[in-house]
Structure 1
Amino acid sequence: MVAVSVILALLAVLGVRQFVTEPFRIPSESMQPTLQRGDVILVDRSTRGTAERGQVVVFDGTGYFSSADGSTHFWTKRVIGIGGDEVQCCSPSGAITVNGDELDEPYLPPGVKPSAQEFHVKVPAGRMFVLGDNRENSADSRSQLGAPGGGMVPVERVRGEVRWIVLPPGRFGGAPDLG
């Protein structure tokens, strides 16, 4: 009877992780101030394989993004453009534009420019252009523009949208500025 209970509990945990929510730890400062290094977040698995402008998502960057140590892992970034969008930096006022409209980016750290790097891209269908909120300290689509895929990740690689911060206890709750 105990073995059946343990098996059912394990199946329930695996089912929740696969279909409901999945935890990830934020490994860097690239999403500050929205997410802090060391935060444990939960992503909504019902949104896997989808992306909308402004969402903060976790995605598998294997083959599109690389880490300093050469390992592959999941990345957490904000979706700036999706298939068909024209994303450019910068407008005369210094803003990033999407389809000619300036982005309002209240989530950027005070004093941080939307981008020190100029770019002008058209996002292919089924892909997304992503940036970290801490633009001065983020490896994101801008840093991969010359790489295979041009820094634009297939939307099918999205594991889910970030919904909650669960650790540390002082930051528990719905994450701010998550689109």
Structure 2
Amino acid sequence: MSQNPDQSQDGTPGSGEQRDHAAHKAPKDRKRGLGAWLREVLTIVVIALLLSFLIKTFLFRAFYIPSGSMEETLEINDRIFVNLLVPEPIDLNRGDVVVFKDTKGWLPETVAKESNPVRDALTFVGLLPDESQQHLVKRVIGTEGDHVVCCDADGRITVNGEPLDEPYLYPGATPSDIPFDVVVPEGKVWVMGDHRNASADSREHQNGEGGGFVDVDDIEGKAVVTAWPLNRIGGVSSYEEVFKDIPAPTENSGQ
């Protein structure tokens, strides 16, 4: 019995020319598949970087905690994410932990770090904190019009006559060992660190530029989450319950 010229010895239909064509085509398909895969990966990376940049520019930004002034709420070397929608369009409130630019010279000058292209690129897209500018992080105690005083007969800070019980204070720290009696001007806030005896905050700068007050325009945003290290991941509380009974400021609140 003769064999059908269009059938292989194993019974598979197809001529020798077709099999040769398929053999030559397979490597090309593999190359084409690898190229498509690389294009997809590159597209995903570009989209991810673009989204990260947009988030960093308009929604959230990473910051690094270099000091213990906010312990134990924030520890040295913590990385936090800050909501850039505060104070606008979202309102700023007493108790918020805010990051603000040091426009009043509260911090000593630092030596600029050498440029690193990889670090600069990751910082630009928001994957690393920006350490090129001087920033501080503190808790807002008084907002515009508030009369903030240290201290009452029980050693507590009062805001518009209402004493504060402050559970966020560093263990063993007193509300303040520096007396003050201030009314917060328009467009300003009064800020203090949670580790009061290790924080050079509004109290320390009452005799400096701005009288210790921070311009609302200098506030970058509100700290909302600790993202690093992994064992400290969690939200940053504003402790609304501490400030909920404070009455609204009045025109004669500073008298």
Q: TM-score, normalised by structure 1?
A: 0.90
Deviation string for 1:32-76 (max 9, x for gaps)? 0111011000011121455210111111122x2421336761111
Structure having the higher Rg: 2
CA distance in 2, matches of 1:76, 1:93: 27
* Secondary structure at 1:156 match in 2: helix
Q: In proportion to residue count, which structure has more strand?
A: 1
Q: 1:48 to 1:8 in 2, by over 3 A?
A: farther
CA distance in 2, matches of 1:54, 1:65: 24
- Which range moves more in the overlay, 126-135 or 150-159? 150-159
CA distance in 1, matches of 2:80, 2:56: 13
In structure 2, the residue matched to 1:66 is 106
Gaps of 5+ in 1: none
Q: In proportion to residue count, which structure has more helix?
A: 2
In structure 2, the residue matched to 1:156 is 217
Q: Is the 8 A contact 1:65 1:151 kept in 2?
A: no
Paired letter, 1:151? G
Choose the corresponding residue for 1:56, options 87, 93, 97.
Answer: 97
How far off is 1:82 after superposition?
0.6
1:105 aligns with 2:166: yes
Deviation string for 1:86-144 (max 9, x for gaps)? 11101010001111110120011222110000000110011000000000000100011
Q: 1:86 to 1:152 in 2, by over 3 A?
A: same
Q: Is the 8 A contact 1:33 1:109 kept in 2?
A: yes
**C-alpha root-mean-square deviation of aligned residues, in Å?**
1.9
Gaps of 5+ in 2: 1-38, 112-132, 240-255
CA distance in 2, matches of 1:170, 1:178: 21
Matches within 5 A, 1:17-56: 17-49=56-88, 50-56=91-97
Paired letter, 2:172? G
CA distance in 1, matches of 2:167, 2:44: 48
Tell me the percent identity. Answer: 41
CA distance in 1, matches of 2:208, 2:160: 23
* Matched positions, count: 177
CA distance in 2, matches of 1:146, 1:70: 23
In structure 2, the residue matched to 1:92 is 153
In structure 2, the residue matched to 1:137 is 198
